[in-house]
Structure 1
Amino acid sequence: MLEHIDAELEDPILKVMASFKASTVSHKLDLGIGVYRDSKGKTPIFKAVKEAELIIQMQETSKAYLGPVGDTQYTGLIHQLLFGQLDCPPDFFQIIQTPGGTGALRVAGEFLHSALPFATLWLSDPAWSTHKPIFSGAQLPTKEYRYFDHETRVLDFAAMCEDIAAIPTGDIVLLQSCGHNPSGCNLSYEQWLSVSQLMADRGLLPLLDLAYHGLDQGQILDLQSIKAIEAHHDEWLLCYSASKTFSLYNDRTGALAVRNRTIQNAHHALSLILNLVCANYYMPPAHGASVVRTILTSSDLTELWKHELEAARTRIIDCRKALIDALSSSGTDDYQFLERQEGMFAYLGLTEKELAWLREKHALYFGPGGRLNIAGLNPQSLPQISQALTELAKKKRG
């Protein structure tokens, strides 16, 4: 009955993963997958996580279901971590635990489609390659606003504001809170305030995607987008991922937060969300939330986690500088824009033909559009990468 299916893999990141895995070249390098890696090329488990897991192992007495809201102590701690800086009382927020940040995005999409059936969601150009299929699967139509200058490869704030000013009232705008994926181009606090005011004037609903908290400008500054949105809006949503922030990738730990205008609205929003969750995965997994809860309820583990997260952020900064220096030493100035990008990603703006050339000639596997995971660099791989990118620049100049 299923023999008529002829679907092929569509996700561009999964295609890169499959192509990399199939390659038999010994010097191949995976630069496309968005996970933090240490200097040895491994995705480490934070020591704070390992210590928390030992505590859980000793203290856990049940594997009972959490319920569709998830671990309520975890969601309370996430509220304090992300929104403790705000004057808004906690009762105006509803937060549920989700299977990763991706799960939060999907539930948000279904919630918004149910609550605002005629609204369109606006994504940045470029956007994370999985954003569009997530929301399409939730039946939420998407369009794009300009964000990135594909010639200079830096933020185009004027174009962004021009496009947002033309979005119809009642639509939704997704904004990445920090560490923009894939461009590495982020708004300053002043720009965040301007965009927040502009969206309020247009009657637009903000949807924040926070996936790289602590890995861009630091654990406090990476939350300035939330403060800016709250300054001009009394309704907005935020999708949160603990994958990078707590190094809990395969534990699928996230949260969806809805900021409401009234407490009554908050209760109604939660009811709709829970109806959608129960028709989907019903209950979130427990382990990752237990780890985060154990860390954030221990002052010692919290300090250890903050130290490890800051060390990861510092390494990313050092890796970017090392790449810039290596390219400069190779005699090319074609990649000076890397100095104006930041966070875990660099975005080279490459064509499919150029990406194929890098794979075939240099065994380098980049993400869509030439997204490069800065955390995937190390001293051993830099010569190979800088040589390849220098050759590509010369090839493009003819």
Structure 2
Amino acid sequence: MVVTPAALAHAEDLADFVAASPSSYHAAAEVARRLEEAGFVRLSEEDAWPAQPGGRFLVVRDGAVIAWVVPSAALPTTPAQIFGAHTDSPGFKLKPRPTTGARGWLQAGVEVYGGPLLNSWLDRELRLAGRLALADGRVVLADTGALLRLPQLAVHLDREANSGLALDKQTQTQPVWGLGDPTSADLLGELAASAGVDAADIRGFDAVIADSARGSVFGKDDAFFASGRLDDLASVHAGVVALGEVSARATERIAVLAAFDHEELGSASRSGAAGPFLEDVLARVYEGLGADGGELRRAYAASWHLSSDVGHSVHPNYAYKHDPVVQPLLGSGPILKINANQRYATDAVGAASWAQWCRTAGVASQEFVSNNAVPCGSTIGPITATRLGIRTVDVGIPILSMHSARELAGVSDLHDLTRVAEAFFSA
């Protein structure tokens, strides 16, 4: 396998992106920062939006962000090319009154978020990050850096640990962050200090625990990339890089990046794919182009949504868990995700279009389908297809260790997904 210099540079940039995105709120802010540097204009949902074609814009709603490029010659019926992903990842979220502890240890009260592989969080340096709502009405981002750890019980005290370790979600997943008396300590104070604000001014917070280690390229021929939060920051990053290359003068369709929050919880929130965010933004964009209801529906009928999320590479130690024939391999190209029960939204027409976008990009593609005895999860694809009626294709990259604190991807796949996203936007 040959990993190109461009793919290696792309992986290093992804490492920077993930490091800057310990929470969904940080990820949305980093997307906005990068696109604003590329010339996009940030809008507020509370303001009137520019109506003229030819613009590049973005809007942030909590931990989600939508960005778009309107062609210079856009009409009320100009279709959209939507690249969808999500900003959140499985892990732990800080509970109210989070400063806890016992027997001389300071601990953090956390709640399980989504479906993480609990054991993978043991014995790692962890950071606490999220947003703080302050008494003066401001909302600020905070990130402590490496502060916490979930220490595993020594094998001398659990002789059966290697026979099967199952953690109690309440009593055995509360990380340590210091020594002392919890009645005289303040974990929120640590978070506030990292943001340069007074803990007494905090009126609300949304904070998660995240792996603090930087993403890394390794393995024979630099084939592997390991990092936290690849599900689904790998797709968000691909969309950001691809959209940044779109010119309003060159594109014939409205290019949209939709990075939603709360996918790991089912997407049912104001900033999730099951909420109104994308529909709200598209309605306002087409309203600015003078579209009436009929023209909007015509635009939707000709539009595409590429729902990008990670999928499973065949695992060499557990091959029996995969379909016996369709076994995508990490490093062999992005995947087309297929499911008979519509857990993925791909159909025959979508598969043909995906093949064309891959050919345009010069990228090999693989298929993914689950073993019948091991049902797959789902994505934002069926949700947005149901909400908007826009034809949707579910795709992604194959990885190992999905929902681990540190997941494993192929360096070439990461770059290839971005190349296909660029071809998709320019379709």
The structure richer in helix per residue is 1
The structure richer in strand per residue is 2
What's the TM-score, normalizing by structure 1?
A: 0.26
What's the TM-score, normalizing by structure 2?
A: 0.25
